């Protein structure tokens, strides 16, 4: 694993690679410890959605990262906020730097490139986001449901807070005993 | 002549799998040539439920994510919530949290040793290890009042103190486990059959561990020196220089198989005992909660806008939470939970390819999988298809008990 770099160095590299696509950045500081207080810092950046792949590649160029998670937030409006969190320089005491990428994805074009070609382990995260929020990942080979059943109705996404949300999904999840009896032709 | 391929479905309910998950294997003779893992048989939508409750309720909901390590998720939750809300827990509370977190690591590791022995057919080892684990559960009961779902953590502190009278019991426990762990090391690491059954099985290289995003003991056994307690320390871990336990430090090389993972877990028990001993000796004085009044705490949450990512090194690997408070609600507006098994199950398919059918239980057990950590709205319906609320469910239970009492002639 590579030697850790400071937050400023990492930020400078990302600024060089991304240019104007890097919309904003924030270095957050937290103090930890009781007897020996130390500060560790996190990098949070907001980018343009079309620079997403470039950003991830820039992070992979720093050090082979550890993918913390992929999350998405639907406030009910026109866009989804995607959150990707990576950890680089782990394996070093006090050295892990967490880089969080945030960007807004318009709901009429929920398409993102996959990162499974860089990291196979990201497949589970992408499959979960795909079924829960309806984001399509270009290049994702395995597109089967991860947590939801195979016969889940199309176009229903449990984490969405708009008309594609959970309102009428429950009746699809569990058929009542009466429905099952009716289907079997029993009284 | 072309070999006939057979399809062997294992699970979702199967003796080798403690919780529902399905391994679909295609075999040629004894060899597995194709494999697919299906999960999600018990998805409970806990994250969705958490976004509809206040933060304290969500904290205790997070305790129910995992059925065995009930402190892992609350630990990550409080660390994250404190970062997002700008609260610092008092020193004494931070030390108590670390003690409980480490006690849980020991009991979880011993439980795993028993399970993996059972999968191989060593049932006497299962009973011996689980008997040894009982003493730890007694200590946890003494400290928290419960043997599982301890309900002891709070945003900005803990709810129960470690009293002077508890300290002797904890010290006795530490000396008991030092001996017991040495015995376990002797049995597990030098038994020729255990060695033959685990050496080279479920072998994960360092490169694979990184690419598959493996975490915790699984990654460490493959030689990746990662541990949240070392990489981004928090609470009392920041005072102690915790170092990741990797096989290359113990025996000079990491092979990343089921034997190495046993070794990593056994040595981590020693490390946890050291951490508990340090925390007991250095336990700072002071209060237990930053904001002891729950109404004031909820009022602060309602006023605060903020988001944070926090992590805790659970016995099985890192647990990561993301929380966002929008400054309007008592609870989180977004809550994302990643459990260690979420990543570690990724290793099954590549490891099972080319393995033998008899190795399925070991490959499945070696990561210490926890499906309930992964599969997180249970909806209960009555015969007419109506959703039953908790009050009705409780009433129905009471009614049934009364009915049975009448039938059996038992008086109240």
ipTM attached to this prediction: 0.88
Q: Which chain A residue shows the shortest CA-CA distance from B385? A: A176
Q: For B278-288, how does the pLDDT look when each residue is reduced to its tens digit (9 = 90+)?
A: 999 999 999 99
Per residue in B368-389, pLDDT (tens digit) is 777 766 655 445 566 666 666 6
Does B40 contact A42 at a Cβ distance shorter than 8 Å?
no
Whether the predicted pLDDT of A176 surpasses 60? no
Torsion angle (degrees, nearest 10) of CA A139, A142, A146, A151: 110
Contact B238 A177 (CB under 8 A): no
Residue A17 C-alpha, separation from nearest chain B C-alpha, in angstroms: 24
Indicate yes or no: CB of A68 within 8 angstroms of CB of B232.
Answer: no
Task: Please state, in angstroms and rounded to a whole number, the distance separating the CA atoms of residues B26 and A106.
Answer: 42
Cβ A120–B233 below 8 Å, yes or no? no
Over residues B326-335, the mean pLDDT reads: 88
Question: How close is the nearest chain B Cα to the Cα of A171, in Å?
Answer: 9
pLDDT at site B377: 44
Of A31, A91, A178, the CB nearest to B226: A91
pLDDT-derived band at A170, boundaries 50, 70, 90: low
Inform me whether the C-beta atom of residue A66 falls under 8 Å from chain B C-beta atoms.
Answer: yes
A45, A124, A173, A179: best to mutate for the B interface, most B CBs within 10 A? A124
Query: Are the beta carbons of A119 and B211 separated by less than 8 Å?
Result: yes
Which residues of B are less than 8 Å from A34 in CB distance? 91, 94-95, 235-236, 238-239, 284
* CA-to-CA dists, residue A66 to A3, A167, A183, B318, angstroms: 15, 35, 48, 11
**Chain B touched by A136 (CB under 8 Å):** no
Q: Which of B43, B333, B383 sits opposite A178 (nearest CB)?
A: B383
A87 touches chain B (CB under 8 A): yes
**pLDDT at res. A179:** 65
Tens digits of residue pLDDT in A8-67: 999 999 999 988 888 999 999 998 888 888 888 899 999 999 999 999 999 999 989 999
pLDDT above 70 coverage of chain B, percent: 93
Q: Report the distance separating Cα B29 and Cα B16, nearest Å.
A: 20
């Amino acid at each position: 694993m590579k030697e850790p770099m400071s937050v400023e160095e990492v930020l400078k590299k990302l600024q060089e690679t991304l240019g104007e696509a890097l919309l904003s950045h924030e270095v957050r500081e937290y103090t930890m410890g009781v007897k020996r207080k130390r500060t560790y810092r996190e990098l949070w950046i907001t980018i343009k959605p079309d620079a997403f792949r470039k950003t991830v590649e820039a992070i992979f160029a720093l050090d082979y990262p550890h993918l913390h998670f992929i999350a998405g937030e639907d406030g009910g409006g026109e866009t989804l906020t995607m959150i990707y969190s990576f950890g680089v320089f782990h394996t070093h005491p006090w050295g892990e730097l967490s880089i969080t990428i945030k960007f807004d994805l318009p709901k009429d074009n929920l398409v993102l490139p996959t990162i499974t070609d860089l990291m196979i382990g990201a497949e589970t995260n992408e499959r979960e986001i795909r079924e829960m929020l309806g984001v399509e990942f270009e290049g994702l080979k395995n597109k089967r449901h991860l947590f939801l059943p195979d016969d889940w109705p199309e176009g229903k996404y449990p984490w969405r807070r708009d008309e594609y949300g959970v309102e009428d999904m429950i009746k699809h999840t569990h058929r009542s005993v009466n429905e099952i009896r009716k289907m079997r032709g029993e009284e | 002549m072309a070999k006939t391929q057979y399809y062997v479905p294992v699970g979702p309910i199967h003796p080798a799998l403690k919780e529902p998950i399905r391994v679909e294997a295609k075999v040629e003779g004894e060899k597995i040539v194709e494999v697919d893992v299906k999960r999600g048989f018990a998805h409970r939508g806990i994250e969705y439920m958490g976004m509809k409750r206040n933060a304290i309720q969500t904290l205790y909901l997070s305790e129910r994510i995992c059925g065995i390590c009930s402190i892992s998720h609350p630990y990550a939750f409080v660390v994250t919530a404190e970062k997002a809300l700008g609260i610092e827990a008092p020193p004494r509370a931070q030390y108590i949290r670390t003690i409980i977190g480490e006690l849980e690591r020991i009991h979880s590791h011993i439980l795993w040793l028993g399970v993996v022995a059972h999968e191989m057919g060593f049932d006497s080892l299962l009973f011996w290890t689980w008997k040894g684990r009982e003493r730890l559960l007694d200590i946890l009961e003494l400290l928290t009042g419960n043997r599982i779902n301890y309900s002891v953590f709070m945003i900005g502190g803990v709810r129960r103190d470690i009293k002077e009278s508890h300290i002797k019991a904890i010290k006795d426990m530490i000396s008991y486990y030092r001996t017991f762990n040495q015995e376990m090391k002797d049995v597990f690491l030098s038994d020729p059959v255990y060695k033959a059954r685990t050496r080279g099985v479920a072998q994960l290289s360092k490169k694979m561990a990184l690419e598959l995003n493996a975490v915790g003991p699984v990654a460490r056994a493959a030689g990746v020196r990662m541990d949240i307690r070392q990489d981004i320390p928090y609470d009392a871990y920041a005072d102690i220089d915790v170092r990741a336990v990797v096989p290359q430090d113990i025996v000079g090389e990491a092979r990343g198989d089921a034997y190495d993972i046993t070794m990593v877990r056994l040595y981590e028990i020693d490390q946890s005992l050291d951490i508990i001993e340090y925390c007991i000796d250095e336990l700072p004085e002071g209060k237990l909660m930053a904001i002891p009044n729950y109404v004031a705490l909820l009022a602060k949450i309602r006023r605060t806008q903020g988001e944070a990512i926090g992590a805790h090194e659970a016995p099985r690997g890192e647990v990561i939470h993301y929380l966002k408070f929008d400054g309007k609600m008592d609870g989180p507006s977004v809550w994302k939970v990643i459990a260690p098994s979420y990543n570690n199950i990724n290793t099954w398919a590549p490891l099972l390819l080319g393995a033998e059918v008899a190795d399925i239980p070991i490959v499945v057990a070696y990561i210490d999988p926890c499906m309930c950590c992964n599969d997180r709205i249970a909806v209960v319906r009555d015969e007419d298809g109506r959703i039953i609320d908790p009050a009705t469910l409780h009433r129905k239970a009471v009614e049934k008990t009364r009915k049975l009492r009448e039938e059996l002639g038992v008086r109240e």
